[in-house]
């Protein structure tokens, strides 16, 4: 036995053989320590700190548990991401694609061309030529307006049909504006034609204003119905 003391902290026993520790502490050797501060004892004459030793098995258990926790966290994140993608997929499937609104540029240019040609034709012309020019121009403008209105109605009907199918599928209770009256549209053309014809006859000149007023009332009613449907389609595009 050597006279040197054990290297173990707090041990005054002599060390054993070639080891720097006594017999009691030879097998244990240095260990990982964890200071448990919750067990500090405050006494008037004793300020010693209680030290607890953590066995290697406990450390190995913690190392084994940590990957399992990470795997569970990753699985939860995958599930959340999958649910988010599923909700997004359902939302995309429920959406409908509305057709594009027809362009009015061609109709506007054609109407401008008719006005310019008609104005040039009536300069210096006699009464019959002016009457003929105005009637022809009026007919052409009516045809252009009818074609433009038909395209606009086809666009609105296509949009409303798709919106109605979605509302029925998802049971959405929302009022959809009714289609403009075809009778009002026809009567507006008739009153407009009569107003133009009666304008160039002295005997029927007063009737032209009467027919013009009726045409204007039909036009306002028909255009108001179309505007309500167009506004409804625009609001649907913004919301959905």
What's the rounded Cα separation, in Å, for the pair 155 and 149? 10
φ, ψ at 213 (rounded to 5°): -65, -45
Give the model's pLDDT for residue 32: 45
pTM of the entire structure?
0.53
Greatest distance between any 2 Cα atoms in the chain = 147
Give the model's pLDDT for residue 74: 74
What's the rounded Cα separation, in Å, for the pair 224 and 234? 15
62, 121 Cβ separation under 8 angstroms: no
137, 200 Cβ separation under 8 angstroms: no
What's the rounded Cα separation, in Å, for the pair 209 and 34? 104
What's the rounded Cα separation, in Å, for the pair 147 and 141? 10
pLDDT in tens, 74-83: 777 777 776 6
Q: Which of 36, 32, 15 is nearest to 24 (CA)?
A: 15
Q: Which of 29, 23, 32, 38 is nearest to 8 (CA)?
A: 29
Ordered by start, the domain boundaries in the chain are 102-239
Q: How far apart are the first and last CA of the chain?
A: 91
What lies within 8 Å, CB to CB, of 101 at 6+ separation is 155
Copy the structure tokens of residue 5.
Answer: 């003391």
Give the model's pLDDT for residue 64: 56
Give the model's pLDDT for residue 124: 78
Copy the structure tokens of residue 89.
Answer: 């997929």
Copy the structure tokens of residue 39.
Answer: 């067990």
Give the model's pLDDT for residue 210: 93
Give the model's pLDDT for residue 164: 87
Q: pLDDT tens per residue, the chain (240 residues)? A: 446 777 777 787 787 666 777 777 766 555 544 455 554 444 444 444 444 444 444 544 555 556 666 667 777 777 777 666 655 554 444 566 777 778 777 888 888 998 898 888 888 778 788 878 888 888 888 888 888 888 999 999 999 988 888 888 888 888 888 889 989 989 998 898 888 888 777 788 889 899 999 999 999 999 999 999 999 998 888 876
Other CB atoms within a 10 A radius of the CB of residue 188 amount to: 24
pLDDT in tens, 112-154: 998 898 888 888 778 788 878 888 888 888 888 888 888 999 9
Which residue, chain included where needed, has tokens 């009022």? 175
What's the rounded Cα separation, in Å, for the pair 47 and 57? 31
Give the model's pLDDT for residue 166: 86
């Amino acid at each position: 036995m050597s006279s040197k003391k054990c290297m173990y902290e707090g041990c005054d026993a002599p060390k054993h053989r070639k080891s720097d520790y006594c017999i009691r502490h030879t097998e244990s050797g240095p260990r990982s320590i964890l200071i448990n501060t919750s067990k500090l004892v405050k006494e008037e004459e004793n300020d010693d700190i209680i030290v607890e030793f953590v066995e290697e098995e406990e450390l190995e258990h913690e190392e084994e548990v940590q990957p399992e926790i990470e795997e569970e966290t990753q699985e939860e994140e995958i599930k959340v991401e999958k649910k988010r993608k599923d909700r997004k997929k359902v939302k995309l499937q429920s959406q409908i694609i509305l057709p594009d609104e027809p362009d009015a540029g061609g109709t506007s240019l054609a109407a401008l061309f008719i006005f310019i040609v008609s104005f040039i034709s009536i300069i210096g012309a006699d009464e019959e030529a002016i009457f003929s020019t105005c009637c022809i121009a009026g007919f052409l403008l009516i045809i252009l307006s009818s074609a433009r209105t038909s395209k606009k109605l086809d666009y609105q009907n296509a949009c409303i049909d798709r919106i109605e199918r979605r509302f029925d599928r998802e049971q959405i209770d929302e009022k959809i504006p009714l289609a403009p009256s075809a009778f009002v549209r026809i009567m507006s053309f008739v009153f407009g034609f009569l107003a133009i014809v009666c304008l160039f006859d002295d005997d029927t000149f007063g009737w032209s204003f009467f027919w013009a007023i009726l045409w204007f009332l039909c036009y306002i009613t028909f255009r108001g119905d179309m505007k309500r449907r167009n506004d409804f389609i625009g609001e649907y595009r913004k919301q959905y």
